[in-house]
Amino acid sequence: MLRKILYTYPSVLGLLKALVYKLVYGGSLKFVGLPHVSRTATIRIRKGASARIGRTSNLSDGVILSVAGNGQFSVGDRTSMGFYSVITCRHKIIIGNNVMIAPHVSMYDHDHVIHTDGTMREEGYTHGEIVIGDNVWLGDHVTILKGVHIGEGAVIAAGSLVTKDVPANSIFYNKREN
């Protein structure tokens, strides 16, 4: 009976999952209001890192949010993260209010340091914060890399690789050459 209720009313299961995450991560995870965390979404916060998820924000099925190192992650109110999006934060990612993140979006605020004389695992990282303004729309399969600031009201076209700042109220797309 309980299983039927939980699967019939996914918002109940999302609320329960959010509460479990809050218990597990304590002060490292702050929920403002009641976000919806899908039953298949995953939140990982390592020691020393922190995350804040705004009021009525939504983490859809398959979303992976990983905050490690001294990472600081923050998402505003009424923001939705689409199915199977992956956000990996080791430094700082700030996402504004009313942001629409389509399925399969990836964000990485760091890169591996690569040297030929050591192992990749021991080389460390370079960092650059990602800031996404209010009312931004990120299309399907967008990838955002470290050091990018996306201005308020911008639209990022599906399939784009964003490596530089995007001005407010603009449309960004990658032109592919044949």
How far apart are the C-alpha atoms of 90 and 20, rounded to whole Å?
23
Quickly count: other Cβ atoms within 10 Å of residue 95's Cβ. 25
Q: Which residues contact 100 (CB under 8 A, 6 or more apart)?
A: 79, 80, 82, 136, 137, 138
- Helix (H) or strand (E) holding 80, with range, is strand 80-81
Strand pairing category for 149-150 and 161-162? unpaired
| Helix, strand or coil, per DSSP, at residue 130 | strand
* CA 177 from centre of chain: 30
- Helix (H) or strand (E) holding 7, with range, is helix 2-8
DSSP string, 22-71: HHHHGGGEEE-S--EE-TT-EEEE-TT-EEEE-TT-EE-TT-EEEE-TT-
Please say if 141 is a catalytic residue.
no
Catalytic annotation, pick one of 36, 91, 104, 112 = 112
User: Which residues are known catalytic residues?
Assistant: 112
